[in-house]
């Protein structure tokens, strides 16, 4: 297990159109044995960061340290790492066994030892019968397993993964996610995983770095990132469908703080009030999963809405509703559909599940009302 | 149903016609070569061989320099292919994988240099080779042939390496393989279809070349098969039997190479399709 430290990393790509910073003054600390995920939209610099850790790209500025030792100038051959690529990159002219054993062959391990280690890994991944086949004869899932085998057979302290599951269909992807997690528990490696898929990031990682435009927006555990997003951008990126945002205002009335939005005035808890100064424009965010609907008005704070579109999603259903002021509010409900499109309904939610953001800066102010 | 039948019949008729047009000269070549030289111009003429004789082949192999011509062509063809394949592969790899100024210009320029007709290059090359003492040598002819093969070969490999994902090499580097080892163990096997295509072209060009061989080699012991067979046309006689027997023998190695490479090409294409 190896700890990775990245300091003030910058990578500028020059092209005919000018230069762009793919990674912009990025600093990260990845602890040993962690499953650390870099997540973000395409072009956010996550893959470039991973390739710099691998030594496949040279940073314009900044340094990479493995266990405190500077490796910035080491070529990939000398970094003692392994990597899984987006396009699998199994050598097409070698058998699965030769592919998995290639790292060991480069280290001049004896033939019998290579054979034995390859077999152990192949059995662990359920591809022992495929060892003599060429990658072209394998299914997509088996190829991923072989590629995973190639990256763990060397027992390196660092395992880098560049969107390894993006070419698989949904079912295989879920299967391989479990497989990778199972392997991570068995081997002693720090995994740095790159994906644009937040479900992958949330379900696998010990910690996640959310990146955008070459910068890291927030590093946190999956729960932390979900429950305590640092700003509106992160809050809307994490979670699907995206968080609903409502323009509102916080006002102070006789020492009591109140939030006004969706035509309602709701008194704020002491916890929320302590972070607010009063009389400011805010955005109120509520996740679709936390909004609920009922046919009868039961509280004066229930918000009257009209059901616009109902999309069944198997167990859940996604409902779009609208009010006089807001044209689209997304609600995800688990209960069976008792509404029809065009029906009147009342929207309500637990105040603990709402977020308050600064409307101008986007910064999170409170994680409850 | 009936229409489909006619369609198939039409296709077959067309195919048979093409085979006849292409195949008849070949057939005539073999037929003339296995008949005694005396029957060639003595009526009645027949479309089918009437008498069989290996006299043409005996004369060709033992009374002429044919075996020398064959040896010369094989030596020149082999080294031209080797040089073209090695230079084109390395140049193509360099042009794809390394960043430097004017890269695209060089890559496209190679194709431009390929567009000069041989005859135009032949005379300057003759003067250069003459001053270097490379006329009537294998080195001269090999270089001249490679100068045609390398530009197209480099361009082909440049194109080819562009479709080979870099991650194969990166995977090898991360596994600990050096650049040279990666080239040998990963890049070359994956680039095999391209290399085979380039080699086939280089050999075929060298094997068929008449222009350069005619311009540079005037010593009959340095003739290649093309200029050699042409030497059977003498001022007072055209030895048709020798020409046809020589041509027949010359097609055999080509045929073997093509059959062998066809299998290789298809196998390598299957590998190429895996990416």
- What are the pLDDT digits (tens) for B201-213? 899 889 989 999 9
**Which of A102, A161, A189, A194 to mutate to test binding with chain B, by most B CBs within 10 Å of its CB?**
A102
**Separation of alpha carbons A76 and A74, rounded Å:** 6
Q: Is A50 on the interface with B (CB under 8 A)?
A: no
pLDDT digits (tens, 9 = 90+) for B153-183: 998 888 888 888 899 999 999 999 998 899 9
Place of tokens 């596994």: B175
Q: How confident is the model at residue B93 (pLDDT cuts 50, 70, 90)?
A: very high
**A103 and B275 in contact by Cβ < 8 A?**
no
**Which of A86, A91, A107, A144 to mutate to test binding with chain B, by most B CBs within 10 Å of its CB?**
A91
Q: With CA atoms as reference, report the closest residue to A329 among A314, A313, A345.
A: A345
Q: What residues contact B260, with CB distance under 8 A and at least 6 apart?
A: none
Which chain B residues are within 8 Å of A107, Cβ to Cβ?
176
**B270 and A135 in contact by Cβ < 8 A?**
no
Q: Is B23 on the interface with A (CB under 8 A)?
A: no
Which chain A residues are within 8 Å of B271, Cβ to Cβ?
92-93, 136
Which chain B residues are within 8 Å of A91, Cβ to Cβ?
168, 171-172, 186, 189-190
All domains of chain B in start order, with CATH: 57-272 (1.10.3720.10)
Which chain A residue shows the shortest CA-CA distance from B187?
A: A91
Of A81, A92, A154, the CB nearest to B274: A92
Q: Is A56 on the interface with B (CB under 8 A)?
A: yes
**Strand extents, DSSP E, A179-278:** 190-195, 207-212, 215-220, 244-253, 256-261, 264-267
Give the containing element (helix H, strand E) for B267.
Answer: helix B240-272
Q: Any bridge partners for residue A37, and if so which?
A: A193, A208
Q: Which of A294-298, B129-133, B194-198, B259-263 has the lowest mean pLDDT?
A: B259-263
A4-233: in CATH 3.40.50.300: yes
Q: Is the pLDDT at B134 greater than 50, yes or no?
A: yes
**Separation of alpha carbons B137 and A164, rounded Å:** 56
Res B273: pLDDT: 47
Q: Any bridge partners for residue B271, and if so which?
A: none
Q: Are B189 and A93 in contact (CB under 8 A)?
A: yes
**Which of A13, A54, A77 to mutate to test binding with chain B, by most B CBs within 10 Å of its CB?**
A77
Res B1: pLDDT: 64
For residue B114, what are its two tokens?
């390929």
What number is the average pLDDT over the span B215-239?
87
**A92 and B176 in contact by Cβ < 8 A?**
no
Q: Is A76 on the interface with B (CB under 8 A)?
A: yes
Q: Is the pLDDT at B269 greater than 60, yes or no?
A: no
**Separation of alpha carbons A302 and A103, rounded Å:** 63
Res B272: pLDDT: 47
What number is the average pLDDT over the span B40-53?
78
Res A280: pLDDT: 86
Q: Are B158 and B98 in contact (CB under 8 A)?
A: no
Mean pLDDT score across all residues of chain B: 86
Q: Are A185 and A149 in contact (CB under 8 A)?
A: no
Beta carbons within 10 angstroms of residue A151's beta carbon:
28
- Measured between CA atoms, how close is B53 to chain A, in angstroms? 50
| Matching fold, domains A4-233 and A244-366 | no
Res B266: pLDDT: 63
Q: How confident is the model at residue B274 (pLDDT cuts 50, 70, 90)?
A: very low
Res B182: pLDDT: 92
Residue ranges per structural domain of chain A: 4-233, 244-366
What number is the average pLDDT over the span B80-103?
91
Which chain A residues are within 8 Å of B269, Cβ to Cβ?
none
Res A110: pLDDT: 92
Res B265: pLDDT: 61
- Give the CATH class of A244-366: mainly beta
Which chain A residues are within 8 Å of B181, Cβ to Cβ?
106
Q: Which of B69-73, B89-93, B110-114 has the lowest mean pLDDT?
A: B110-114
Res A336: pLDDT: 65
Q: Is B171 on the interface with A (CB under 8 A)?
A: yes
Q: Is B8 left (phi over 0), alpha (psi -120 to 50) or beta?
A: alpha
Of B168, B174, B274, the CB nearest to A81: B174
**Tens-binned pLDDT, residue by residue, of chain A (369 aa):** 789 999 999 999 887 777 888 999 999 999 999 999 999 888 889 999 999 999 999 999 999 999 989 999 999 999 999 999 988 899 999 999 999 999 999 999 999 999 999 999 999 888 989 999 999 899 888 898 999 999 999 889 999 999 988 888 888 888 888 888 988 888 888 999 999 888 888 889 999 999 988 889 899 999 998 889 998 988 988 888 889 999 888 888 877 888 888 888 888 888 888 888 778 889 999 999 999 888 888 888 888 899 888 888 888 888 898 888 888 899 998 866 678 888 888 999 988 889 999 888 888 888 888
Question: Is the previous residue joined to A241 through a cis bond, with omega within 30 degrees of 0?
Answer: yes
Res A365: pLDDT: 86
- Measured between CA atoms, how close is A203 to chain B, in angstroms? 27
pLDDT digits (tens, 9 = 90+) for B135-159: 899 999 999 999 989 998 998 888 8
Question: Pairing state of beta strands A316-322 and A303-313?
Answer: antiparallel
Q: Is the pLDDT at B264 greater than 70, yes or no?
A: no
């Amino acid at each position: 297990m190896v700890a990775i430290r990245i300091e003030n990393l910058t990578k500028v790509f020059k092209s005919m159109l000018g230069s762009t910073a793919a990674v912009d003054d990025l600093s990260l600390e990845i602890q040993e044995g962690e499953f650390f995920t870099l997540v973000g939209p395409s072009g956010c610099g996550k893959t470039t960061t991973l390739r710099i850790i691998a030594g496949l790209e040279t940073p314009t500025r900044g340094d990479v340290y493995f266990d405190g030792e500077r490796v910035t100038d080491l070529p990939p051959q000398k970094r003692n790492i392994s990597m899984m690529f987006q396009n699998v990159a199994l050598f097409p002219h070698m058998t699965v066994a030769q592919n998995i054993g290639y790292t060991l062959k480069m280290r001049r391990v004896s033939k019998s030892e290579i054979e034995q280690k390859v077999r152990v890994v192949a059995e662990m991944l359920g591809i022992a019968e495929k060892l003599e086949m060429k990658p072209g004869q394998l299914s997509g899932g088996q190829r991923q397993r072989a590629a995973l085998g190639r990256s763990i057979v060397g027992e390196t302290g660092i395992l880098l993964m560049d969107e390894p599951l993006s070419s698989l269909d949904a079912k295989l992807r879920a299967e391989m996610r479990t497989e990778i997690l199972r392997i991570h528990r068995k081997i002693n490696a720090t995994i740095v995983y790159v994906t644009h898929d937040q479900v992958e990031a949330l379900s696998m990682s010990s910690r996640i770095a959310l990146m955008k435009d070459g910068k890291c927006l927030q590093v946190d555990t999956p729960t932390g990132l979900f429950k305590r997003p640092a700003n509106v951008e992160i809050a809307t990126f994490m979670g699907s469908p995206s968080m609903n945002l409502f323009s509102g205002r916080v006002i102070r009335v006789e020492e009591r703080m109140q939030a006004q939005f969706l035509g309602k005035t709701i008194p704020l808890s002491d916890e929320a009030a302590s972070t607010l100064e009063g009389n400011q424009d805010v955005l109120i965010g509520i996740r679709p999963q936390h909004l609920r609907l009922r046919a009868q008005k039961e509280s004066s704070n229930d918000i009257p809405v009209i059901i616009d579109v109902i999309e069944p999603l198997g167990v859940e259903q996604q409902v779009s509703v609208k009010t006089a002021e807001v044209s689209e509010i997304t609600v995800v409900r688990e209960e069976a559909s008792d509404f029809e499109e065009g029906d009147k309904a009342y929207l309500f939610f637990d105040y603990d599940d709402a977020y308050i953001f600064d409307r101008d800066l986007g910064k999170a102010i409170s994680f409850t009302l | 149903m009936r229409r489909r039948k006619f369609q198939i019949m039409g296709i077959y008729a067309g195919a048979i016609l093409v085979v006849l047009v292409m195949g008849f000269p070949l057939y005539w070549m073999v037929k003339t070569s296995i008949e005694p030289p005396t029957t060639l111009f003595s009526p009645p003429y027949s479309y089918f061989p009437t008498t069989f004789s290996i006299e043409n082949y005996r004369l060709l192999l033992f009374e002429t320099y044919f075996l020398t011509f064959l040896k010369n062509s094989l030596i020149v063809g082999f080294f031209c292919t080797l040089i073209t394949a090695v230079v084109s592969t390395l140049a193509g790899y360099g042009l794809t994988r390394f960043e430097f100024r004017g890269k695209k210009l060089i890559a496209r320029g190679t194709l431009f240099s390929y567009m000069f007709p041989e005859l135009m290059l032949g005379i300057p090359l003759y003067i250069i080779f003459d001053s270097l003492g490379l006329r009537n040598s294998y080195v001269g002819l090999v270089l001249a042939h490679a100068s045609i093969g390398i530009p197209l070969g480099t361009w082909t490999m440049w194109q080819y390496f562009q479709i080979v994902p870099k991650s194969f090499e990166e995977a090898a580097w991360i596994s600990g393989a050096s650049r040279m080892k990666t080239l040998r163990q990963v890049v070359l096997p994956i680039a095999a279809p391209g290399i085979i295509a380039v080699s086939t072209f280089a050999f075929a060009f060298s094997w068929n070349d008449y222009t350069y061989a005619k311009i540079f080699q005037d010593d009959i012991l340095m003739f290649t098969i093309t200029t050699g067979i042409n030497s059977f046309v003498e001022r007072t006689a055209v030895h048709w039997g020798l020409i046809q027997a020589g041509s027949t023998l010359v097609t055999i190695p080509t045929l073997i190479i093509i059959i062998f490479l066809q299998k290789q090409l298809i196998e390598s294409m299957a590998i190429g399709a895996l990416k």
